[in-house]
Every structure is written in structure tokens, then in C-alpha cells.
Amino acid sequence: GGMSGGVSGDLDAGTCRTVLVTGAARGIGRATAARFGREGARVVVNFPPGEREYAEQTGALVREEGGTPLLVEADVADPAAVTEMAAIVHATWGPLDVLVNNAGICPFADFFDIDVELWDRVQHVNLRGAFLVTQAFTRAMVEAGRGGRVLSVSSISAWVGGSQQVHYCTTKAGISSLMKSLAIVLGPHGITCNAVLPGAIATDINKADWTDQAKVDYFRSRIPAGRMGEPADVAGVLWLLSQPESAYMNGSDVLVDGGMFVNLQ
Ligand code: NAD
């Protein structure tokens, strides 16, 4: 409780917040679920079909950190599954305070090898998924009138290209754009929408990068921080952006890349 009345962008730091992290089975999503768990939050751990075992490990981590996990299986690209997930979450805990759109895939492919099925799948999981989940959960947040946060994991790839990532980079530019329009739609309700743009973070999604020593050396030379990022580096910034002090940030692209982007020469 403790809101000063009316619509406010400020979340009460003293309450046990309700947070949904999509794609929380592994990687950045798992670290983010754990980070919010550390603050005693109620954390919805979304995972796709086939990844329940990983999601259970995330749930255990959330609990270890002091939070309360709720595991919900849903392919974020599937409208019916997203609707069902929203019904389960709302029936269990009511409206969210913080939504983290994190689910994403990045199957590297040469431009001339990208067929329409691959193009559509990446677009559907990464971009349509963020749209569907945000629409399904912010409706109840608006009705609750408590304000809140939508934080979407975009990428440095929203700003740069990748020869193996033509299908992926376009979704990340789309996610950043989605947050900008929704900042306008939801801002008047005290719900801010921002994108977080990780650089090179060592997770399953880019194993080919960090298991290739030449590529690791290249990244190291390119990243002023002197190392690739870890999931916790991104999770920490997502946590910062959920704080009341971030209430005046809306529609931003927040880069979390150890300085890689600005290091042209
Ligand atoms: P990851 O492969 O470890 O995690 C991806 C997560 O998404 C997994 O938990 C997976 O279960 C989930 N997921 C995949 N398809 C899903 C679906 N259809 N429905 C629900 N969940 C689904 O990789 P990661 O690096 O942790 O990626 C998380 C996000 O961070 C992605 O959006 C990715 O694009 C973004 N990102 C990663 C990097 C990086 O360098 N690792 C850089 C920039 C952005």
C-alpha cells in the first residue's frame, strides 16, 4: 500500500511487488527473476514448452533469494497461450507492477539462407511476443491505476546490424520502437515503457561467440570493460529501472554493453 493517491508512476518500494519475466527459464531472464526475487518480489517465471526443467531451476533460485515464484508455461508467440497465461497470473496475484519482456531467439543464419519460416519464427517470438504479452498484461495494470513498469530486453542489435542476424536485428529495432509508442499510450497511466539494450552477454543464445576463442579475443578488444557481459549485468539494470527513481524515464533505449558500442576507434 502507501501510494499517495491517484495515478502515479512511483511504485511503492516497501510492497512485495508482482513481476513477470518472460523467457525466464535460462540466461538473462533467469538472472532477472533471481534479482527481483532477492527483493522479496512475487515473480512469474514464464517458460516455453519443453523447458519446464530449466524453469524449475529458476523457480528454486527465486525462492533461495527470498522471492515467491509462479511458473507459467506459454510460448509468447502464441496468442491463446499468452491469454491463458494472463488469466492464470491475474487469478493468482492480480495485476503486475513490473513486466519484463525478455523472451527471445537468435538462430544465426546467412541472409540468403533465411527462408520465410525462419524469418516469421524470429519475428513472432521476439516482436509479436512482446506485443502480445504487453497488451495482455497492461490492460489490467491500467485498470488497477497503480502505475508500473514495462521493461523490454531489446539489444545493441537495435542500433547496429549483423551479417548473420538480419532477421534478429530487425525484431530488436522493433522492440525499441514498440516501447516508444507504448510510452505515449501508457505514460498517462503512470506506466513507463523502456528498452534495455544488452551488448555481448555470455548465454546459450550466443554460445558460438563465447566458445570461439578468436571471437572472445575480438570482443575483449572491443569492450572497454575488458570482458563479455554476464546475465547479472543486465538483470541489475532491469532492477534499477523498476525503482521509483526511474519514474521520469519513458521511451528510452538503455545500453548495457560495457562500452562496446561507442568503441569505433
Ligand atoms: P537464452 O537463450 O539464454 O535465453 C532466452 C530465453 O527465452 C530462454 O529462457 C528461453 O526459454 C526463452 N524463450 C525462447 N523462446 C520462447 C518462447 N517462444 N516463449 C517463451 N520463452 C521463450 O538467451 P539470453 O541471452 O538470455 O536472451 C534473453 C534476451 O536477451 C533475448 O531477448 C535476447 O535477444 C536478448 N539479448 C541477448 C544478448 C546476449 O548477448 N546474450 C544481447 C542482446 C540482447
* Residue 53 Cα to ligand 1 middle (Å): 16
CATH number of 18-256: 3.40.50.720
Band of pLDDT at residue 16, cut at 50, 70 and 90: low
Index of the ligand 1 atom closest to the CA of residue 200: 40
Please give the residue that has the higher pLDDT: either 245 or 1.
Answer: 245
Name the residue at shortest CA distance from atom 34 of ligand 1: 104
Index of the ligand 1 atom closest to the CA of residue 124: 18
Of the chain, the percentage scoring pLDDT greater than 90 comes to 88
* Residue 129 Cα to ligand 1 middle (Å): 12
Ligand 1: residues within 6 Å at CB?
22-23, 25-29, 46-48, 51, 75-77, 102-106, 125, 153, 155, 198, 200-201, 203-206
What is the ipTM metric for this complex?
Answer: 0.99
Mean pLDDT lowest for which of 14-18, 119-123, 218-222, 259-263? 14-18
HEC profile for the chain? CCCCCCCCCCCCCCCCCEEEECCCCCHHHHHHHHHHHCCCCEEEEEECCCCHHHHHHHHHHHHHHCCEEEEEECCCCCHHHHHHHHHHHHHHHCCCCEEEECCCCCCCCCHHHCCHHHHHHHHHHHHHHHHHHHHHHHHHHHHHCCCEEEEEECCHHHCCCCCCCHHHHHHHHHHHHHHHHHHHHHHHHCEEEEEEEECCECCHHHHHHHCCHHHHHHHHHHCCCCCCECHHHHHHHHHHHCCHHHCCCCCCEEEECCCCCCCCC
* Residue 119 Cα to ligand 1 middle (Å): 17
Catalytic residues: 155, 168, 172
Residue 251 clears pLDDT 90, i.e. is over it? yes
Index of the ligand 1 atom closest to the CA of residue 156: 43
Residue 99 clears pLDDT 60, i.e. is over it? yes
Render pLDDT for 104-144 as a digit per residue (tens, 0 to 9): 999 999 999 999 999 999 999 999 999 999 999 999 999 99
Band of pLDDT at residue 211, cut at 50, 70 and 90: confident
pLDDT of residue 104: 98
Residue 7 clears pLDDT 70, i.e. is over it? no
Residue 209 clears pLDDT 90, i.e. is over it? no
Please give the residue that has the higher pLDDT: either 25 or 10.
Answer: 25
Render pLDDT for 133-180 as a digit per residue (tens, 0 to 9): 999 999 999 999 999 999 999 999 999 999 999 999 999 999 999 999
Q: Where are the domains of the chain?
A: 18-256
**How much is the mean pLDDT over the chain?**
94
* Residue 5 Cα to ligand 1 middle (Å): 37
pLDDT of residue 207: 86
pLDDT of residue 52: 98
Name the residue at shortest CA distance from atom 3 of ligand 1: 27
Name the residue at shortest CA distance from atom 23 of ligand 1: 205
pLDDT of residue 56: 98
